[in-house]
Chain A
Amino acid sequence: MTRFATARLGNPEFRRNLMVEISPQRLLGMPVVLGLLFLAGAEAGGAETVDVIAHGALVVLLLLWGTRLTAGAVADEIQAGTWDAQRMSGLSPWAMTWGKLFGVTAFMWYGAAFAVAAIWIAGITGMVELLDLLLTGVVAQAGALLFGLLLQRVRRTGGKRLGVALAQIFAIGLAVWLTTQESLWEARPVEWWSLTVDGRDFILLSKALALGWVLAGIHALMREELRYRAQPWTWLAFLAFCAVYVAGFGDELLVVSLFGTMLAVDAVPLVIMIGTVAGLTLVAALLGMHNSVEMRRWLAGPTRARSRPGALLTEAPAWGLGLAVTLLLGLVLTVIWLRVPEPSWLPVLIWSGGLFLLRDVGVILALNLDSGARRGPWAGLIYLWALYILVPVALVNVSPGASAAVMPTVAPTVFGALIPALGQAALAWLLVAWRWRVAKRGLSTAKPG
């Protein structure tokens, strides 16, 4: 469909959702139920009670019900056997994104409009607070759509209910976390990259940025689902944004005192950036490409059969790009450290940390390679929990510094951290190589094309 035609028609996906979600009975029923609730509240406790009830209605409609609908927006299509037809449609990734996000929740927003009207009439909640609440609702709904889509990719053949439930839990958790941050920050100014910003303004802006990134993430996944050419730029830009955003809190996070020694000023943001990117890389490894066939096709990019060397970048799994960015940041930090080589253990920390990350990605890959719906991200999560929570606790009694051999810690040594990390990373990737051979067993030779 041409863009012109799309614009004149409206978004078919949005209109279809309206046809499914909206009916005369529902249009009538929602205001009647809410009106009765507000009237009862006004009778019982006046404007304050109406305000509380309307807030509760918003939470139920936008957070509880709305996130369920967006979490299942794609899963329900897969379950119903309509998703492949949608993938072959002429709809653009963006049309599919907003058509689903605002289409499946249209009835919820219809009800939310009455709740907003009640809040406005009650006159207790300010407009900024109200806008903040609505923004939180959109972020949560978009987050549920994103996470639901991600989980469906990991568990394509598995049960859908669990994925939808997890996506909804994630979205509600995100909304709760954002609200918590709000209460923490609104009372005081925020120090960010040496700028002093009003706490409320900062959290509002952060929520708006979060919404932008969630939408960008959904768009990128929709692109892949609709078979547009793979591109890594959204993920790379997100890594860069997160690294810069989190590093801006260097002062607030008190990184200098956490390390127990003075770091060179230039090094502090980079240390935080590396930690941020490493964390996101682990998340990408848990939720990303574990299919040996896709990996073989990706690795064959530069071969004569495919003759597409650029595919090594454009089709790279997110965890691979994360590892590359971590390596790049580690190199930059090492160069900066060479100018002011204090503290002496900083390169050991960074490179042992990089090797631990490589080990973790290797183990997650070995655990999940071709496991499909059987394991999902659970085996990797259990592994990380055991390694970073259980093992250090167990090692405390053996030797106070022993945990440096399994995870990044302050003041590591070459023999206490770097060499053990190297050995573990090598072992993990030997395990991957073994799983790789098992995955290839029974397949005849064919060059990916």
Chain B
Amino acid sequence: MPTAASVAPPLIEVANLTQDYPGLRALDAVSFSIAPGTVTALVGPNGAGKTTLLRCLAALDLPFAGRIRVAGLDATERPRAVHRMTGFLQDFFGLYDSLTVEAGLWYAAAARGVPRSAIPERIAWAAAAVGLSERLSHRAGTLSRGMRQRLATAQTIIHRPRVVLLDEPASGLDPENRADLAGLLRRLRTDYGMTLVVSSHILSELEDYSTHVMILRDGRLIRHDALGDEAGGEPGVANDRTGPARLLVSLSHPTPDAAAVLAARDDIADVTPLGEDDRRVFVTLVDGADPARRTDLLAALVAAGVPVCGFDVERRNLQDVYLDHLREPREPAGEAP
């Protein structure tokens, strides 16, 4: 599987990572690299191996085969060193309910090796980062679900790890808390240069703050690319103004021969009428990623008398891409000798 091209040397390198549980191959020869300062959305259906991958990256579980390097450290050979530079928030995280927010953060900082003199500053920083500064004296057990998630996140980042791994961090949060979490993750990347890998099923939000997407299915990596941020490109397609684009042409009134007009052009690769009212047509424009080509097409259609009232590049979000990949036929798994 090709990996994301990047200029910066990778912070995380994974080669042929294979993880077995009794009778089950959870990860199958997964290879990729992640550049520093990126946010990678880790997506895939239940049981795809997302949590297993995160646990291996956190050096919590010893992989069966393959290599993981975090900042040049082999996670198999030096797991404790990897622990020091990593923060991992698992799906079913726990808190010490009888401790106050401040005490919980103190313990996380002290246990993570933050120097004593720096602990008060770190507590203030982490609490502010997650919006808990006003609740330092509250007991964890009295906090709402969203506040507990914030506290757990603060405990995860209090030692300012280079790599932050989050397993379903938005699970169970209301829209407001999810938005706050998205903002926090963006800040961790932009303000503190942290590298994040976030698994989630809420793809629309991942798209908001992720720079890359990684799709796992049946323990295999089926896609890992940078996310496109301009119209015309699906996530992962480089925005270099070359290549085709899918366009939706809307007509002000039914025009049965519009499809024929479009199909007659050399720069149109594909024409697909949408619906039965002859008012919308999907076309694939050769080199349509180039805005000038789209301008040419629009001008030609207007000149030909086609009643164009809408002309837009098809916008495909992360969920569309994800579902497309899941619909692809599965490769058969190899058998044991």
- A228 & B80 in contact (Cβ 8 Å cutoff): yes
Can you list, as one digit per residue, whether each of A434-449 has a CB less than 8 Å from chain B (1) or not (0)?
A: 0000011111111111
CA distance A90 to B87 in the complex (A): 12
Establish whether residues B83 and A88, one from each chain, have CB atoms under 8 Å apart when the complex forms. yes
State which residues 1-27 of A face B: CB under 8 Å: 1-2, 5, 8-9, 12-13, 15-16, 19-20
Does A227 touch B at the CB level, under 8 Å?
yes
Q: Indicate with 1 or 0, residue by residue over B53-74, a CB within 8 angstroms of chain A CB atoms.
A: 0000011101111110000000
Which residues of chain A have C-beta atoms less than 8 A from B334's C-beta? 444-445
A226:B80 contact, CB within 8 angstroms: yes
A443 touches B25 (CB 8 A): yes
- For chain B, residues 90 to 134, give those with C-beta under 8 angstroms from any C-beta of chain A: 90, 92-96, 98-99, 103, 107-108, 110-116
B336 in contact with A370 (CB, 8 Å)? no
The answer for the CA separation of A396 and B155 in the assembled complex, in Å, is 65
A443-B336 in contact (CB<8A): yes
Q: Report whether B336 and A440 are in contact in the complex, using a CB–CB cutoff of 8 Å.
A: yes
B24 within 8 A of partner (CB): yes
- Which segment, of B15-23, B168-176, B201-209, B257-265, faces chain A? B15-23
Alpha-carbon distance A90/B84, docked complex (angstroms): 7
* Separation of A87 and B155 alpha carbons in the complex (Å): 14
- CB of B302, distance to nearest CB on chain A (Å): 57
Q: In the complex, are the beta carbons of A90 and B25 less than 8 A apart?
A: no
Any A CB within 8 A of the CB of B7:
no
Which candidate, A108-116, A127-135, A292-300, A343-351, is the interface stretch facing chain B? A292-300
- Residues of chain A contacted by B115 (CB below 8 angstroms): 5
Cβ-defined partner of B65 (8 Å) among A91, A292, A439, A446: A446
For residue B92, which residue of chain A has the nearest CB? A81
Contact A12 B107 (CB under 8 A): yes
The answer to whether the Cβ of B191 comes within 8 Å of any Cβ in the partner chain is no
- Tell me the bound Cα distance from A288 to B266 in angstroms: 71
Nearest-CB residue, chain A, relative to B159: A90
In the complex with contacts A20-B98, A86-B111, A444-B80 CB distance below 8 A: no
Residues of A within 8 A of B107 (CB): 12, 15-16, 19
| A84 CB–B CB distance under 8 Å | yes
Contact between A443 and B65, CB atoms less than 8 A apart: no
- In the assembled complex, the Cα of A449 lies from the Cα of B59 at a distance in Å of 14
Query: Is A80 within 8 A of B94, CB to CB?
Result: yes
Contact with A along B1-33 (1 / 0, CB 8 A): 000000000000000101011111100110000
* Cβ-based interface call for B282 (8 A): no
With A9-B116, A20-B98, A449-B67 as contacts: A370 and B23 at CB distance below 8 Å: yes
Q: Is B305 an interface residue (CB 8 A)?
A: no
User: Does B335 sit within 8 A of A, measured CB to CB?
Assistant: yes
| Interfacial residues of chain A within 301-318, with CB under 8 A of chain B in the complex | 305
* Residues in A neighbouring B103, C-beta threshold 8 A: 16, 19
Tell me the nearest residue of chain B to A230, going by C-beta. Answer: B62
Report A151 CB to chain B, min CB distance, Å: 19
Residue B333 at the A interface, CB < 8 A?
Answer: yes
Check B76 for interface membership: any CB of A closer than 8 A: yes
A88 in contact with B96 (CB, 8 Å): no
**In the assembly, what is the distance between CA of A85 and CA of B67, in Å?**
23
Is A449 a contact partner of B65 (Cβ separation < 8 A)?
A: yes
Query: Closest chain A residue to B75 by CB distance?
Result: A227
- Is residue A183 within 8 Å, beta carbon to beta carbon, of the partner chain? no
A15 and B110 form a contact (CB under 8 A): yes
- The number of residue pairs between A and B whose CB atoms lie closer than 8 Å in the complex comes to 137
Cross-chain contact B64 with A445 (CB below 8 angstroms):
no
Give residues of chain B (300-336) contacting chain A, Cβ–Cβ below 8 Å.
Answer: 333-336
- Of A86, A227, A445, which contacts B79 at CB under 8 A? A227
Report whether A449 and B63 are in contact in the complex, using a CB–CB cutoff of 8 Å: yes
A49 within 8 Å of B (CB atoms)? no
A370:B22 contact, CB within 8 angstroms? yes
Q: Which residues from B are CB-within-8-Å of A445?
A: 334, 336-337
Q: For residue A275, which residues in chain B have a CB less than 8 angstroms away from its CB? A: none
B336–A442 CB distance below 8 A: yes
Q: Min CB distance, A27 to chain B, in Å?
A: 15
Given A5-B116, A442-B24 in contact, is the A91-B83 Cβ separation under 8 Å? no
A291 within 8 A of B: yes
Q: How far is the CA of A12 from the CA of B96 in the complex (A)?
A: 14
Q: Which of B28, B63, B86, B94 contacts A82 (CB 8 A)?
A: B94
Tell me if A31 is interfacial: C-beta within 8 Å of chain B: no
Q: Shortest beta-carbon distance, B84 to chain A, in Å? A: 7
CB pair A19–B99 under 8 Å, yes or no, is: yes
Chain B residues whose CB sits within 8 angstroms of the CB of A86 once the complex forms:
111
Determine if A12 and B110 form an interchain contact, defined as CB atoms under 8 angstroms apart: yes
Q: Please indicate the chain A residues that have their CB under 8 angstroms from the CB of B110 in the complex.
A: 1, 9, 12, 15
- Complex interface: chain B residues within 8 A of A416 (CB): none
Q: Which residues of A contact B93 (CB under 8 A)?
A: 81-82, 85
CB of A88, distance to nearest CB on chain B (Å): 4
Specify which chain A residues have a CB less than 8 angstroms from the CB of B16 in the assembled complex. Answer: 446, 449
A305 to B15, CA, bound (A): 13
A372 at interface (Cβ–Cβ under 8 A)? yes
- A191 shortest CB reach to chain B, Å: 47
- How far is B59's CA from A440's CA once the two chains are assembled, in angstroms? 24
Of the listed residues B20, B29, B86, B115, the one surrounded by the most CB atoms of chain A closer than 10 A to its CB is: B20
| Contact residue among B22, B29, B83 (Cβ-Cβ distance under 8 Å from A439) | B22
Given A5-B113, A305-B65, A441-B336, A88–B22 Cβ distance below 8 Å? no
- Nearest A residue to B114 via CB reads A1
- Contact in complex: B86, A8 (CB < 8 Å): no
Contact B113 A13 (CB under 8 A): no
Q: In the complex, A15 Cα to B96 Cα: how many Å?
A: 13
Which residues on the A side are within 8 Å of B60 (C-beta)?
Answer: 84, 87-88, 227
Q: A16-B111, A228-B80 are in contact. List 10 more A-B contacts (CB 8 A).
A: A1-B110, A1-B114, A5-B115, A19-B98, A86-B111, A88-B59, A90-B112, A293-B22, A370-B22, A446-B65
Interface pairs A-B: 5 shortest CB-CB: A81-B94, A1-B113, A444-B334, A370-B22, A90-B113
Q: List 19 A-B contacts (CB under 8 A).
A: A5-B116, A12-B110, A16-B99, A16-B103, A20-B98, A77-B94, A81-B90, A81-B93, A85-B88, A85-B108, A85-B156, A87-B60, A88-B60, A90-B112, A292-B22, A293-B64, A372-B22, A440-B336, A449-B64
